[in-house]
Chains A and B, each alone.
Chain A
């Protein structure tokens, strides 16, 4: 009799725990992240690996862009008006948006114009107490010259705010719609000022997004809870956990053992394994991105355009397309990908010609060859699934014309930090677009402002080029802008501060029972509507 009761008890216990297990698992999602976030505030970085983890999960922006039509959609702003001279844009804000309530902050009011004023004035107002907090670097906004563009931000009323610009810039709305232009809580900022812990604004984030911050253990995990009062739609997941796994093979293994439910950028060589599993889905999206080889134009011998051209002619890109992109990428014929409306195929893109490369080197006086560093990213990106492999192919190609290449690698965030100090000779890098606006490929990468703040990996500053870019931004006539961008593209291929190599596809692998993960052709991933069946 006792044994019987005991047996039933055990059965019930296991039954209960199985249910508890199911509950725990079906309401939480584990996402394999490729690197630690450099911050929880997307304003201060342009790294895709950080944006993917934070921007669409913790925050909202004023407006967003429709991935298919390119139209602007309302988010925190219900509607907006642009003045006749295009120098004043006024936003009408939603009144029902609540901020996160966390262990360290309880909001006492809804989102309003004060938050918008605070968020943007932090970026360019040197007198804002938060401007220099966390280093004072806002790479995206500085590269596009936001501090020179915004004259003032005026709170017209509690739910109405205006931006006054010095110049009418056609890309202004696009830039307000990027993943970087998220809205912070002014009330939280005030609280932190009182307790004198201003760095917490970026480290212990508060936003309006579908998830709120719970915990972060470096190199281990990030934990978000759902934001119960999310204004847009109910959030399905109770928990969102990021498992920080820099090694791409390990991420795939975790997918196969179901220790991770989603992983971004699976290594192109492993796609077939994932695709062959019935319990895993692989999503594929075209994406606005470019992978390139940038030369540090302030360092000899890369300051000589003949040397840059020689290096460009010395490598066999077809081989790279085959071995690195595994035929899943598209070779670039310009610095813009061919899906951009300002694209123009460049006729004098360097082709594979080692003889010409040798002659150019001879002209530059370097026929005996030289030693150089090639920095390769340790993580897979959309624009370059395997920088290390690409580097090895380039290394063997350059050896044939007498150049010895030393491949340099660091952990991803350290890598980017060192690049910003221009410590490199050359680097394999790239850029994923944040908006469909073509300026997104020029200003953040090759402008003088970008060279100053370290985001310009070619360390290239040409005032004529900058002039072209600003002229293109001064007008909203598409045909006129195209003209300027054509000239800009020609200039890039002429001078070759960087050699555009290929455009990659965006892949994402997820367990079949996971739904509604949004990946677009530009910008970061959004898990706002994600759920598990």
Chain B
């Protein structure tokens, strides 16, 4: 039997919600992705409010309390909920501040990459002929340099440090980004409605802003989340290899590598940053996956 929608008093606008609201509705139905989103938001808040939330200063050394286990252990102290490291610094405070460095900077990196990537990708997609070829070959060459190697080279040129890591990762993520955006643009360009706009006499800018962009920005958001998770992994990997954040900066990867020496004595100092890293990347991936499937569902309708 067919289902009837008795909707005479509900305007069509209620039913045909904007694409964004539809997207959100589909996303909401995916409970796991929602959990991911909550965690994501929580991390963002932590990252911005870290100095305020953390109980102690990030470099505050308590010489009377070295290598204390977390407070639920017998030897622990309730002053230091997650224990202290070998210089007497509160693990919880350092981890919270680490959110700013690892997570916060990763978001910054991903945003900058998105901006640059979209601009360059659109440019690459819209251009034709030799210009397009050369740009694409350049892209392919940079794609063939492993991102870590590229980061190492940039750090060799600029010197180690958190800021230079950000540059390095931006430059390493860009080619992949430009590649994807370019493919998206090219795909859209071949569609009928764009050709119709073209024939109508719209110039490039018009086509871009009215035609292509509204249709690809959701994909860009998905790519953003994927590059965000890569950025988190890369920043922490470089911090772990001591090429990125330098002590005493409280970046998660750097904290992990610093505390490796105590892995037998104080395994929590190594376990906790790792777990945090895992969950942040997981949350980002959950959100990204959720967005992707929500997009697919919406398109299917």
Contact = CB atoms under 8 A, between A and B. Distances in A.
Touch between A and B in complex, CB under 8 Å? yes
Interface of A: 248-249, 252, 267, 269-270, 272-273, 319, 322-323, 386, 388-389, 392-393, 395-396, 407
B264 A270 contact: yes
B263 A323 contact: no
B42 interface: no
Contact of B247 (A272, A273, A319, A392): A392
Interface residues of B, number: 17
Interface string B164-204: 00000000000000000000000000000000000000000
Contacts of A395: 248
Contacts of A319: 63
B154 interface: no
Describe A's contact surface by its main secondary structure: helix
Given A248-B261, A269-B261, A273-B265, 11 more contacts: A249-B260, A249-B261, A267-B261, A269-B86, A269-B262, A269-B265, A270-B261, A273-B264, A322-B66, A323-B66, A395-B248
Interface string B51-93: 0000000010101001100000000000000000011100000
Describe B's contact surface by its main secondary structure: loop
Contact of B59 (A323, A389, A396): A396
A389 B67 CA distance: 14
Given A249-B260, A396-B61, A407-B247, A323 B86 contact: yes
Contact of B87 (A249, A272, A323): A323
A272 B246 CA distance: 29
B87 A393 contact: yes
Nearest to B260: A249
B263 A249 contact: yes
A389 B63 contact: no
A392 B264 contact: no
Nearest to A378: B242
Interface in B31-67: 59, 61, 63, 66-67
A332 to B, nearest CB: 20
Contacts of A322: 63, 66
Among B59, B66, B262, B264, max chain A CB count under 10 A is at B264
A196 B248 CA distance: 51
B261 A392 contact: no
A46 to B, nearest CB: 27
Contact of A392 (B63, B248, B265): B248
Interface in B232-290: 246-248, 260-265
A392 B248 CA distance: 8
Contact of A323 (B63, B248, B261, B265): B63
A389 B87 contact: yes
Contacts of A267: 261
Among B67, B247, B261, B263, max chain A CB count under 10 A is at B261
Contacts of B61: 393, 396
Nearest to A248: B261
A185 to B, nearest CB: 42
Given A322-B63, A323-B66, A392 B87 contact: yes
B65 to A, nearest CB: 11
A409 to B, nearest CB: 8
A266 to B, nearest CB: 11
A252 B87 contact: no
Nearest to A276: B264
A270 B59 contact: no
A323 B64 CA distance: 10
Contacts of A388: 247
Nearest to B66: A323
Contacts of A270: 261, 264-265
B222 to A, nearest CB: 40
B82 to A, nearest CB: 19
A396 B247 CA distance: 12
Interface string B84-125: 001110000000000000000000000000000000000000
Nearest to B259: A249
Contacts of B265: 269-270, 272-273
Contacts of B260: 249
Contacts of A407: 246-247
A329 to B, nearest CB: 16
Nearest to B246: A407
Contacts of B86: 269, 323, 389
A347 to B, nearest CB: 27
B139 to A, nearest CB: 35
Nearest to A409: B242
B258 to A, nearest CB: 9
A328 to B, nearest CB: 14
Contacts of A323: 63, 66, 86-88
B265 to A, nearest CB: 6
Contacts of A248: 261
B29 to A, nearest CB: 47
A386 B66 CA distance: 15
20 contacts: A248-B261, A249-B260, A269-B67, A269-B261, A269-B265, A270-B265, A272-B265, A273-B264, A273-B265, A323-B63, A323-B86, A323-B88, A386-B261, A388-B247, A392-B87, A392-B247, A392-B248, A393-B61, A393-B87, A395-B248
